[in-house]
């Protein structure tokens, strides 16, 4: 079967390399020639575990191009382009519209079009409408929604061994067609390319066949719920702090209840990335569009806005006025295991430090190039955690990279830990954010 994946970002590349591993012939299509060139040389344009090996060992059935005419060969097209949402909660579907335009110009023969983008309820129908309006007969294609739930840093593992698959189509026949494409994953019926994988998932993978609108809402409701869990535990943590109670211990106790579960209960500096903030804003926007004020979700974002600022306040309370003082910021990626800095809380911390006229000294093992693009020469860059720390009296830990757990790095320093990275050290002045 010939598959084309439009958009070779974090989701698209993962989808392309995994489907090619399952034996499908896959072409990744992206309109960024620089990215395509790297991929053609089997060099990953992003950092993600296993990606480089998967690109190198592609079995000869994976290719990349920026020429949309390849769509003519595709029996199935996955769309994985950006769907940004403004701070005010307004979504931008122009990338999807342009992908739909390419599809309408080039598809030939009956084509299954699968929208993997996180987009407001009704978008999958809209994709179909754009293609029809461009002159393609509805009998030539069908559009389904298949929201993606992979997590950056474990994207390939998540794609091949998911907790669930959601398929939104207008008819049972359409849904079954897409289910068939996922059947090796649903039945876990392939030699694991990652032998050390110890993922605990049920087989067959739970698969929900539903309407496109329900599938779209499941994705938003899931991400906004995870964001809510984080802001909830951060709020509890802020209260715990004042009572001298360890919020991590509280979270452990809560997580023992299977109705609550321990995941996403790590109190700290808050959530960032390209999904949780954006998707929560979009759900708020969707509520407002129909005249509903989503008070709980607005509070989730409000708590999250304040957490990074608390870190800087704590630093001030320990070392006094920060003006002209160097402050080490460890971590720029929104989480460990990725080079992605989209909506990273580390950036909010750096912005706040600059407002206080401090001199941030930043280190990240994977994301420094992206920090440079954002901050230029307004901040100082370090080549290692040690190099950053040595210059500063105060250290802020904003991403939980494994190398930051080395307690010998911090002798004699004030450390404000936004990710519960350290424990059991008394040679330093150490505080967790909550
Ligand atoms: N990143 C995640 O962890 C994640 C997880 C689940 C769902 N999603 C959703 O998946 C979608 C893609 O997210 P992402 O993080 O992979 O985005 P991304 O920004 O990393 O990648 C998008 C890619 O699409 C390309 N592109 C844009 N318009 C195009 C067009 N018309 N034709 C061809 N290529 C085009 C861009 O050049 C880019 O390489 C979004 O809707 C996002 O919300 C993301």
**For residue 83, how far is its CA from the centre of ligand 1 (angstroms)?**
7
User: 340 and 412 in one domain?
Assistant: yes
User: Looking at 152, 186, 210, which one is the last position of a domain?
Assistant: 210
CB 327 within 8 A of CB 358: yes
Predicted confidence at residue 199, as pLDDT, reads: 67
Residue identifier of the C-alpha nearest atom 4 of ligand 1: 11
255 Cα to the center of ligand 1, angstroms: 33
Q: Is 264 found in the same domain as 177?
A: no
Q: Where are the beta strands (DSSP E) in 173-266?
A: 207-210
In a domain, 217, yes or no: no
Q: What is the pLDDT of residues 22-43, one digit of tens each?
A: 999 999 999 999 999 999 999 9
* H or E element at residue 104: helix 94-106
Closest ligand 1 atom to the C-alpha of 274?
1
Structural domain boundaries, residue 66: 2-210
Q: Are 158 and 147 in contact (CB under 8 A)?
A: no
Number of structural domains (the chain) is 2
Do 285 and 206 fall into the same domain? no
Same structural domain for residues 164 and 34?
yes
Question: 339 in a domain, yes or no?
Answer: yes
355 C-alpha to center of ligand 1: Å? 32
71, part of any domain: yes
- Of 12, 33, 34, 130, the residue with max ligand 1 atoms within 8 A of its CB, to mutate for a pocket test, comes to 12
Atom of ligand 1 nearest to the CA of 116: 10
Q: Is 275 a catalytic residue?
A: yes
187, 270: one domain: no
Structure confidence by residue, pLDDT tens digits, 351-405: 999 999 999 999 999 999 999 999 999 999 999 999 999 999 999 999 999 999 9
Secondary structure (DSSP) of 15-49: HHHHHHHTT-EEEEE-S-HHHHHHHHTT--SS--T
Nearest CA to ligand 1 atom 20: 9
Report d(CA 102, CA 225) in Å as an integer. Answer: 34
Pick the residue whose CA is nearest to atom 37 on ligand 1.
32
**pLDDT tens-digit series, residues 397-408:** 999 999 999 999
Residue 389 lies in a domain: yes
**Residue nearest (by alpha carbon) to ligand 1 atom 35:** 7
Best probe residue, ligand 1, of 34, 49, 94, 148 (max atoms within 8 Å of C-beta): 148
**Residue where a domain stops, chosen among 192, 210, 228:** 210
**Residue having the nearest C-alpha atom to atom 31 of ligand 1:** 99
- Cα of 100 vs centre of ligand 1, distance in Å, is 14
Given a cut of 50, the residues of the chain with pLDDT beneath it are none
Catalytic residue among 4, 18, 275, 392: 275
Atom nearest to 8 CA in ligand 1: 39
- Ligand 1 contacts (CB < 6 A) are 6-12, 29-32, 35, 80-83, 95, 98-99, 116-118, 148, 150, 152, 274-275
Instruction: Confirm whether 166 is domain-assigned.
Output: yes
Q: What is the pLDDT of residue 106?
A: 98
Give the whole-angstrom CA distance, residue 385 versus residue 317: 23
H/E element, 416: strand 414-417
- Is the C-alpha dihedral spanning 232, 236, 237, 239 positive or negative? positive
14 CA to centre of ligand 1 in angstroms? 11
CATH number at residue 21: 3.40.50.720
Report the nearest-CA residue for atom 24 of ligand 1: 7
Query: With a threshold of 0.95, does the pTM exceed it?
Result: yes
Tokens 């715990």: give the residue.
240
Identify whether residues 197 and 292 lie together within a single domain: no
10 alpha carbon – ligand 1 mean position (Å): 7
Task: Copy the structure tokens of residue 201.
Answer: 């998932």
Q: What is the pLDDT of residue 101?
A: 98
How many angstroms separate the alpha carbon of residue 410 from the centre of ligand 1?
A: 38
- Ligand 1 atom nearest the C-alpha of 13 is 16
Return the residue whose CA atom lies nearest to atom 1 of ligand 1: 10
Among residues of the chain, what percentage have pLDDT more than 90? 95
Q: CA angle at residue 418 from 412 to 422, to 5 degrees? A: 50
- Tokens for 378? 């307004």
């Amino acid at each position: 079967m010939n598959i084309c994946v439009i958009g070779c970002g974090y989701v698209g590349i993962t989808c392309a390399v995994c489907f090619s591993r399952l034996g499908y012939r896959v072409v990744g299509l992206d309109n960024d020639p620089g990215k395509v060139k790297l991929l053609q040389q089997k060099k990953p344009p992003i950092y993600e575990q296993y990606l480089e090996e998967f690109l190198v060992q592609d079995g000869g059935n994976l290719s990349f191009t920026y020429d949309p005419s390849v769509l003519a060969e595709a029996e199935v097209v996955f769309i994985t382009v950006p769907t940004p949402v403004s701070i005010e909660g307004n979504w931008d579907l122009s990338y999807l519209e342009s992908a739909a335009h390419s599809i309408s110009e080039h598809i030939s023969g009956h084509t299954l079009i699968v929208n993997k983008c996180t987009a407001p309820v009704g978008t999958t129908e809209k994709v179909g409408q754009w293609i029809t309006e461009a002159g393609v007969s509805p009998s030539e294609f069908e559009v389904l929604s298949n929201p993606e739930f992979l997590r950056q840093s474990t994207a390939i593992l998540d794609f091949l061994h998911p907790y669930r698959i959601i398929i939104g189509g207008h008819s049972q026949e359409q849904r079954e067609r897409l289910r068939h494409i996922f059947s090796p994953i649903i039945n876990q019926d392939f030699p694991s390319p990652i032998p050390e994988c110890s993922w605990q998932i049920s087989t067959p993978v739970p698969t929900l066949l539903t309407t496109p609108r329900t599938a779209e809402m499941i994705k938003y409701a899931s991400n906004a719920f995870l964001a809510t869990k984080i802001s909830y535990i951060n709020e509890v943590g802020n209260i715990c702090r004042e009572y001298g109670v360890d919020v991590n211990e509280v979270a452990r106790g809560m997580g023992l209840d299977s109705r609550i579960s321990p995941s996403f209960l790590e109190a700290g500096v808050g959530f960032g990335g390209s999904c949780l903030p954006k998707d929560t804003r979009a759900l708020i926007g969707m509520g407002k569009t129909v005249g509903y004020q989503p008070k709980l979700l607005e509070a989730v974002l409000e708590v999250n806005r304040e957490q990074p600022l608390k870190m800087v306040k704590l630093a001030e309370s320990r070392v006094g006025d920060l003006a002209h003082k160097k402050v080490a910021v460890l971590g720029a990626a929104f989480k460990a295991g990725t080079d992605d800095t989209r909506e990273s809380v580390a950036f909010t911390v750096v912005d706040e430090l600059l407002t206080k006229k401090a001199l941030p000294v930043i280190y990240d093992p994977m994301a420094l190039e992206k920090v440079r693009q954002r901050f230029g020469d307004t901040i100082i860059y370090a080549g290692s955690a040690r190099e950053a720390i040595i210059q500063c009296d105060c250290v802020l830990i904003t991403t939980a990279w494994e190398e930051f757990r080395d307690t010998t790095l911090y002798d004699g320093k004030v450390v404000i830990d936004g990710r519960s990275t350290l424990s059991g050290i008394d040679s330093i002045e150490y505080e967790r954010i909550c």
